[in-house]
């Protein structure tokens, strides 16, 4: 078994152990009108991030960045070897300013963002940076210009999530990796 396989299995086991999955019903995927149901208070948001060993010293800085937005549930994990995937998942109830901060920190501390994971795969009040719990087929590539569009500070929370869903294909109820 390769180290990457072991890391992926370990990350999946931790996700399952700490409640990272649940049964997904058809109605949970997206509300009929493609809008968010609620916006999470920052204190309710869980941030999971996976970092390379070289970024271990950045953990206190990252936590302070999120604490500045009243987010205290930050769960960093450091890969023993290698780098985590350059992906991010942002739950549908995460406010746009928090999502933009997560994108910025992923760019700064996880070598960038090359893939989005669909909103419906995670809890609504959940952000995951660098997850290896999903296969490559479920990671949706994002172009640098689309990443810049997501980072636009003029986007409201609704506009942010509408754009996120359009980039993942969820706005058509067909994530792009299922095509």
**DSSP of 165-176, one letter per residue?**
HHHHTGGGTS-G
pLDDT at 119 (0 to 100): 87
Residue 39: its pLDDT value, please? 57
Residue 174 lies in a domain: yes
Instruction: Say what the pLDDT of residue 175 is.
Output: 54
Alpha carbons 142 and 130: distance in angstroms, whole number: 14
If one compares 17 and 140, the residue with the highest pLDDT of the two is 140
Mean pLDDT of 65-91: 95
How many domains would you assign to the chain? 1
Percent of the chain clearing pLDDT 70 (strictly above): 73
Residue 99 has pLDDT above 70, yes or no: yes
pLDDT at 28 over 50: no
Higher pLDDT pick, 149 / 25? 149
The pLDDT value recorded for residue 20 is 42
Burial of residue 69, with CB atoms counted within 10 A of its CB: 0-12 exposed, 13-18 middle, 19 or more buried: middle
Task: Convert the pLDDT of each residue in 117-150 to its tens digit.
Answer: 998 878 899 999 999 887 787 899 999 999 999 9
Residue 34 neighbours by CB under 8 Å, 6+ apart: 162, 165, 171
* Cβ-contact 123, 54 below 8 angstroms: no
Nearest residue to 161 via CA among 108, 106, 124: 124
Report CA-CA distances (Å) from 146 to 143, 150, 166. Answer: 5, 6, 11
What are the angstrom distances between the C-alpha of 177 and each of 29, 37, 122, 132? 15, 25, 16, 16
Residue 52 lies in a domain: yes
Read off φ and ψ for residue 36, nearest 5 degrees: -75, 150
Give the span between the Cα atoms of 47 and 104, in whole angstroms.
14
Range of the domain at 115: 3-21+40-178
Percent of the chain with pLDDT over 90: 61
Is residue 26 a part of any domain in this protein? no
Predicted confidence at residue 22, as pLDDT, reads: 36
In a domain, 32, yes or no: no
Q: What is the pLDDT of residues 37-74, one digit of tens each?
A: 345 567 899 999 999 999 999 999 999 999 999 999 99
Domain annotation covers residue 33: no
Task: Judge whether 27 lies within some domain.
Answer: no
Phi then psi for 65, rounded to 5 degrees? -60, -45
The answer to whether residue 62 is domain-embedded is yes
Confidence of residue 170 (pLDDT cuts 50, 70, 90): confident
β 46-51/73-78 pair status: parallel
Averaged confidence pLDDT in the chain? 80
């Amino acid at each position: 078994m390769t180290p990457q396989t072991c890391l992926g299995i370990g990350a999946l086991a931790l996700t399952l152990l700490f409640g990272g999955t649940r049964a997904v019903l058809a109605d949970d995927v997206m509300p009929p009108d493609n809008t968010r149901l609620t916006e999470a208070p920052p204190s309710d948001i869980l941030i999971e991030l996976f970092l390379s060993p070289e970024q271990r010293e950045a953990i206190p800085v990252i936590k302070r960045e999120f604490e500045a937005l009243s987010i205290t549930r930050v769960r960093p994990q450091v890969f023993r070897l290698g780098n985590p995937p350059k992906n991010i998942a942002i739950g549908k109830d995460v406010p746009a300013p928090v999502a933009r901060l997560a994108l910025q920190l992923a760019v700064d501390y996880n070598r960038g963002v090359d893939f989005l994971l669909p909103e419906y795969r995670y809890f609504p009040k959940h952000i995951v940076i660098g997850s290896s719990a999903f296969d490559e087929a479920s990671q949706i590539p994002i172009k640098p210009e689309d990443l810049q569009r997501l980072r636009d500070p003029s986007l409201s929370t609704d506009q942010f999530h509408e754009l996120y869903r359009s980039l993942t294909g969820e706005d058509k109820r067909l994530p792009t990796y299922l095509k």
